[in-house]
Structure 1
Amino acid sequence: MTRAADPVPHTPPGPSAARATLAGFCAALVGVGIARFGYTPLIPLLISQHWFEAGQAAYLGAFNLLGYLAGALLADPLARRLPLPLVLRASMIASAIGMLACAWHAPFGWFVLWRVVTGVSGGILTVLAPAAVLSRIPFHRQGAVGGILFGGVGLGIVASGTLVPLLMRFGLSETWLGLGFICVIGVLAAWNGWPEVRRAPVAAVEGTRPGRNPRLWIVIVCYGLNGLGFVPFMLFLVDMIARGRGFGIDAGALCWVVFGLAALAGPMVCGWFADKMGIDIALPLAFALQAGAAALVVAPVPFWLTLVGAAVIGVFVPGIVPLVLGRVRDALPGDPRRQARGWTACTAMLALSTAAGGYGMSALFARGVGYDVLFLLGALAIVLALALDLAGLAFARRR
């Protein structure tokens, strides 16, 4: 899933495959699992402890997504000009500092700065770390290792959902420090695991435009719409459970842990279904399940059904990646280089849609729009992705 940033062959000796895999896992844990998703269970606490108003807390999540977009766009230019291990270490350090800096109950602008910083570093790590690690992994093992790498996102969600209620007994500042301490551990664990990888020249990333391939454009737009559907979960899930539906912060944290455990299993589960059913069935089914789950989470149903909805979405947060990759390969059969460019375009669309969606939904929330409307908007975006994907399948069959 990182072919667009593949290194050139014959890289110099470096750390073992196991150490490189650990480094990539820690990068996902720190840059996305904690620095992005670790913020979600903090939102109701920031509001109840009067650090920020509800709208401000939502905007901070949106600023992180905006930073992620910037980081994804900056990643390749940075890696072509600087040693890759330096870029990756600096990005992990920035994520850790950003979490620690938020322990100070400072003005809103201070938090905007550090949420953007953690977003930028997360975007850089997401683009560059898997490619660096997979350069040390034999081709026949890259699928399994890729699943391990993105398992760091799920572990970060589980860790934040488990630790936040415990750390809050000491205070909100201490909670930020605890999450920051996890990031520091991740930085140290990954420090010597990054291989020295020569980045391919500009030719490896040039021509990333999808061209005139209608099927590829459909995949790109569907992936962006699916990412837009994830935004309410990334920003509001815990707060909606804790305050919106009145279940309390412990119930919100439990829902977030279930979400994270599902995310841990997501790539393996979705990969297995794709192998069994084929991409043409697995991807539309994934869109349909997500749309139903997004609506279920805000429906007036028993709490256990809310957990089911959160788990379904959690599976697809990382699990949608192998399914979309499969559709990209179908759209560009037998052309790995164009497939890599197509995936780069998909990644850019995802970053753009989540950043725009995060800002837009935060603005709506600040103006008093309820959780039910925001989650239903997310469900609608996924329904549009389903309809567009089915239309693309019909177009392909007619051809």
Structure 2
Amino acid sequence: MLAQLTYLVKKSRWISASCRHKFSASVRRIAEPKMDCSNCTTLDPRPCPERAAASAGVSLWVPAGLAMGAAAALGFARFAYSLLLPAMRHGLHWSFAQAGSLGTAMAVGYLLGSLLTVQAERWLGTARVFVHGLLLTAASLLAMALFHDYGALLLLRFIAGFATGCVFIAGFSLAARAGAASGRSSLFTIIYGSGAGIGMVLSGLLLPPVLASEWNWAGSWIVLGLLTLFTIALAIPAVKRVPPMAAAAADGAGVSLGRLRPILWAYFLYGAGYYALMTFVIAYLHAAGYGQARIVDFWIVAGLAVSASMALWGPLLGRLSGSRGVVLTTGVLIASALVLLLQHGVAAVMLSAALFGGSLMASAFAHLDYARGLVPSHAWTRIIAAMTVMFSLGQTAGPLLCGSIADYGGMRIGMFSAIGLLVLCIALASRQRGSTVSA
């Protein structure tokens, strides 16, 4: 195992040496070039000639490169913690509440990153926020290997949450912009979102051997940090090919969000329930007696399902009206947890993994798409920002609440409490009233 880690370190040095000069120049040049798009408006679906010309040649390799940011922000920095949690909890003698608190710390950081990303983009540009966020993510992951102090690890997870919040939102904006002029925004954002599954698969393949070695969880954080550095080298060429930004959209003034309270609070509950499940599912598999090989299989199948689900759910969600998309996708996520809790055996684990990964990101996109359809196009930015804040608040509360319940009633009860939050999410989303507004 030492030889494998040595190889990874040497590989990272080679990447650093070969990209050093180009990387520094790229980071300085990735700010969007200025372009006269004064005739562009959010209510006019036709791209101006300048943007149309800039986007006409954008290939699918651009969102694929940007997807490496989602792989790092979600797959490596956020989701992989579930794989490391049992080893960290055992080695550092944590309670479930303490383990959940690290998830809460990251969620608080993500909330702050979500709130500040728009302002950061005004100062630095979307591309710089994306790349600098990835750099901060890599640094926070590498630093996790250096500390055993609970407070220091909490701070590092907060920093990782802040950085990944900036990365994911900025990357989503870049992907949507890259496909906007040619009418392929949905396709480009789906490809971008699939990066989360890629990150899950890679972490599922690479981390178990490290966890089984003397390097254990500390070595695993080093591997995740090095992988994140590698994603930067892949993402920068894609960032440089994203077309310039159009004229600023209206801020949604005059649109009341009061009537959207049901879907806003539903997304809060979804964030709480999904993140609690994501945080503790691997610990539950350990407690249920499944071996490391079966847990790795669960993680890889879930990651593959995340990547595939973005394309499979898209056409179906487009045909469902009202809150049905939210109800269906969240219902599948609930079913994935129930299969794991009520059944035992390899078949149940694999079915749960497929359902879990197949609904995880799809349900989040279903919530956002439903909320966006309830307001006119000039208010899209405002409603998406409000939804993101509620989601982040839910992620903050979920792991801490369910972890505390697990400490008193056991891991099984903690998992059922997360399911209860998702059931409440469906109930609230179903109470949302209002017809879809055309752009």
Match of 2:427 among 375, 381, 387: 387
- Rounded to whole Å, the distance in 2 between the matches of 1:43 and 1:67 is 19
Structure 2: 5+ residue runs without aligned partners? 1-41
Match of 1:237 among 281, 296, 300: 281
Aligned to 1:313: 356
Match of 2:104 among 62, 70, 76: 62
Asked whether 1:180 is paired with 2:225, we answer yes
Kept in 1: contact 2:133–2:166 (CA 8 A)? yes
Q: Which amino acid aligns with 2:144?
A: C
Change in Cα spacing, 1:353 to 1:389, as seen in structure 2 (3 Å) is same
- Rounded to whole Å, the distance in 2 between the matches of 1:13 and 1:125 is 23
Bigger drift between 323-332 and 310-319 goes to 323-332
- Alpha-carbon shift at residue 199 of structure 1 (Å): 8.1
Change in Cα spacing, 1:187 to 1:208, as seen in structure 2 (3 Å) is farther
Q: Give me the TM-score of the superposition, normalised by structure 2.
A: 0.79
Kept in 2: contact 1:162–1:254 (CA 8 A)? no
Q: How does 1:150-165 map to 2 (within 5 A)?
A: 150-165=193-208
- Alpha-carbon shift at residue 44 of structure 1 (Å): 1.1
Asked whether 1:293 is paired with 2:336, we answer yes
Name the larger-Rg structure: 2
Asked whether 1:357 is paired with 2:407, we answer no
Aligned to 1:378: 418
Change in Cα spacing, 1:276 to 1:38, as seen in structure 2 (3 Å) is same
Asked whether 1:134 is paired with 2:176, we answer yes
Aligned to 2:327: 284
Q: Give me the TM-score of the superposition, normalised by structure 1.
A: 0.86
Kept in 2: contact 1:270–1:322 (CA 8 A)? no
**SS of equivalent to 2:145:** coil
What per-residue deviation string (whole Å, max 9, x for no partner) do you get for residues 171-205 of structure 1?
A: 2232222221111100111124324755866x744
- Alpha-carbon shift at residue 52 of structure 1 (Å): 4.3
- Alpha-carbon shift at residue 47 of structure 1 (Å): 2.7
- Rounded to whole Å, the distance in 2 between the matches of 1:339 and 1:313 is 29
What per-residue deviation string (whole Å, max 9, x for no partner) do you get for residues 326-384 of structure 1?
A: 4224423xx2112332222212111111112123233444x434222222112112212
What per-residue deviation string (whole Å, max 9, x for no partner) do you get for residues 16-62 of structure 1?
A: 544532342011011111011111101112133x1342433332222
Alignment: residue pair count: 382
Change in Cα spacing, 1:118 to 1:200, as seen in structure 2 (3 Å) is farther
Aligned to 2:27: none
Identical-residue share of aligned pairs (%): 21
Say what the alpha-carbon RMSD is for the aligned residues: 2.8
Match of 1:123 among 156, 159, 165: 165
Match of 1:102 among 144, 154, 167: 144
Bigger drift between 290-299 and 312-321 goes to 290-299
- Alpha-carbon shift at residue 206 of structure 1 (Å): 5.8
Kept in 2: contact 1:157–1:257 (CA 8 A)? yes
Aligned to 1:343: 384
Q: Which amino acid aligns with 2:278?
A: M
Q: Which amino acid aligns with 2:403?
A: S
Kept in 2: contact 1:27–1:186 (CA 8 A)? yes
- Alpha-carbon shift at residue 13 of structure 1 (Å): 5.9
Kept in 2: contact 1:162–1:253 (CA 8 A)? yes
- Alpha-carbon shift at residue 277 of structure 1 (Å): 4.6
Change in Cα spacing, 1:105 to 1:81, as seen in structure 2 (3 Å) is closer
Asked whether 1:47 is paired with 2:93, we answer no
Change in Cα spacing, 1:106 to 1:391, as seen in structure 2 (3 Å) is closer
- Rounded to whole Å, the distance in 1 between the matches of 2:220 and 2:401 is 28
Asked whether 1:267 is paired with 2:310, we answer yes
Q: Which amino acid aligns with 2:349?
A: T
Asked whether 1:211 is paired with 2:227, we answer no
Aligned to 2:370: 327
What per-residue deviation string (whole Å, max 9, x for no partner) do you get for residues 101-126 of structure 1?
A: 11224322221222111111111112
- Alpha-carbon shift at residue 142 of structure 1 (Å): 1.4
Change in Cα spacing, 1:234 to 1:197, as seen in structure 2 (3 Å) is farther
Match of 1:29 among 47, 71, 81: 71
- Alpha-carbon shift at residue 288 of structure 1 (Å): 2.5
